[in-house]
Structure 1
Amino acid sequence: MLGVGPEAFAAVIAAYTVGARVVGVRPGMTDHQRGLLLRDVEARITDRPGPPDERPRGTVLPLGELLATADDGLRPRVSARPQDVARLIHTSGSTGVPKACAQTYAAMTAAWTLRPDDWPPAVRELAGRLDRFLVFGTLTSQVMLEYGLLALAAGGVLVRADPPDLPGALVRHRATASVITVPRLNRLVTSLRTSSADLGTLRALMVSGSPLEPGRAHEAATVLGPVVFHGYGQTETGMISMATPADPPGSLGVPPVDLEVRGPSGRPVPPGSEGEIFVRTPSQGAGYWEQSALSAEVFVDGWVRTRDLGRLDAQGRLWLSGRTRDVVIVDANVYYTGPVERLLARHPAVAEAYAVAVPDDGTGETVHAFVVPADGRVPALDELRSMVAAHLGEACAPTRLTLVAEVPLTTAGKPDRHRLTREA
Structure 2
Amino acid sequence: MPAADGGPFPRAVLDALDAGADRPVFEHGDRVVTGAELLDLVAQVAAGLRGHGLGPGDGVALLLGVTPEAFAVIIAAHVVGTRVVGVRPGLPDAQVRHLLDLDIAAAVTDSGTRYAPPTLTVEALCETRADPGPLRLGARPEDVARLIHTSGSTGTPKACAQTYAAMAAAWTARPGAWPPAIRELASRLGRYLVFGTLSSQVMFEYAVLTIAAGGTVVVADRPALPEAITRHRATASVITVPRLAKLVAAQRRAPADLSTLRALLVSGSPLTPDRHSEALEVLGPVVFHGYGQTETGTISLATPADPPGSVGLPPGVVDVEVRDEHGSPVPAGADGELFVRTPAQARSYWADPAGSAEVFADGWVRTRDLGRVDAAGRLHLTGRTRDVVIVNANLHHVGPIERVLAEHPDVAEAYVIAVPDEDTGEAPHAFVVPIGDRAPDLAALRELVTGRLGAACAPVRVTVIAEPPVAPSGKPDKRLLG
Q: Residues 163, 306 of structure 1: CA spacing in aligned structure 2 closer, same or farther, 3 A cutoff?
A: same
- Please give the residue correspondences for 1:71-86 in structure 2 after superposition, counting only pairs within 5 Å: 71=130, 73-86=132-145
Of 268, 282, 294 in structure 2, the residue corresponding to residue 209 of structure 1 is 268
> What are the Cα deviations for residues 236-266 of structure 1, in whole angstroms up to 9, with x where unaligned?
1110000011111110111111110000110
Of 113, 138, 157 in structure 1, the residue corresponding to residue 197 of structure 2 is 138
Distance 1:210 1:95 in 2: 19
Matched residue, 1:419:
458
> What are the Cα deviations for residues 312-349 of structure 1, in whole angstroms up to 9, with x where unaligned?
0111110001110138xxxxxxxxx99xxxxxxxxxxx
CA deviation after TM superposition for structure 1 residue 367, in Å = 9.0
The question of 1:225 aligning with 2:284 is answered yes
CA deviation after TM superposition for structure 1 residue 419, in Å = 3.1
CA deviation after TM superposition for structure 1 residue 74, in Å = 3.9
The amino acid across from 2:104 in the alignment is: V
Q: Residues 153, 93 of structure 1: CA spacing in aligned structure 2 closer, same or farther, 3 A cutoff?
A: same
CA deviation after TM superposition for structure 1 residue 70, in Å = 3.4
Of 91, 98, 108 in structure 2, the residue corresponding to residue 45 of structure 1 is 108
The question of 1:272 aligning with 2:333 is answered yes
Of 11, 14, 30 in structure 1, the residue corresponding to residue 76 of structure 2 is 14
Equivalenced residues, count: 352
Asked whether the equivalents of residues 11 and 67 of structure 1 are also in contact (C-alpha less than 8 Å), the reply is no
Q: TM-score, normalised by structure 2?
A: 0.69
Q: Residues 32, 134 of structure 1: CA spacing in aligned structure 2 closer, same or farther, 3 A cutoff?
A: same
Gaps of at least 5 residues in structure 2 are 1-62, 391-397, 406-412, 424-449, 464-482
Name the SS of the counterpart of 1:193 in structure 2: helix
Q: TM-score, normalised by structure 1?
A: 0.78
Distance 2:222 2:131 in 1: 32
The question of 1:199 aligning with 2:258 is answered yes
Q: Residues 242, 261 of structure 1: CA spacing in aligned structure 2 closer, same or farther, 3 A cutoff?
A: same
Matched residue, 1:89:
148
How much is the aligned-residue C-alpha RMSD, in angstroms?
2.7
Distance 1:69 1:157 in 2: 26
Matched residue, 1:5:
67
- Please give the residue correspondences for 1:232-271 in structure 2 after superposition, counting only pairs within 5 Å: 232-256=291-315, 257-271=318-332
Distance 2:85 2:462 in 1: 32
Matched residue, 1:407:
none
Matched residue, 2:219:
160
Deviates most, 88-97 or 15-24: 88-97
Identity %: 63
- Please give the residue correspondences for 1:327-342 in structure 2 after superposition, counting only pairs within 5 Å: none
The question of 1:123 aligning with 2:182 is answered yes
Gaps of at least 5 residues in structure 1 are 328-336, 339-355, 375-410
> What are the Cα deviations for residues 327-377 of structure 1, in whole angstroms up to 9, with x where unaligned?
8xxxxxxxxx99xxxxxxxxxxxxxxxxx9999xxxx99996744479xxx
Of 117, 120, 123 in structure 2, the residue corresponding to residue 61 of structure 1 is 120
The amino acid across from 1:18 in the alignment is: V
The amino acid across from 1:62 in the alignment is: T
Matched residue, 2:352:
291
The amino acid across from 2:126 in the alignment is: L
CA deviation after TM superposition for structure 1 residue 420, in Å = 3.8
Matched residue, 1:390:
none
Distance 1:282 1:320 in 2: 21
Asked whether the equivalents of residues 22 and 86 of structure 1 are also in contact (C-alpha less than 8 Å), the reply is yes
Q: Residues 302, 192 of structure 1: CA spacing in aligned structure 2 closer, same or farther, 3 A cutoff?
A: same
CA deviation after TM superposition for structure 1 residue 97, in Å = 3.9
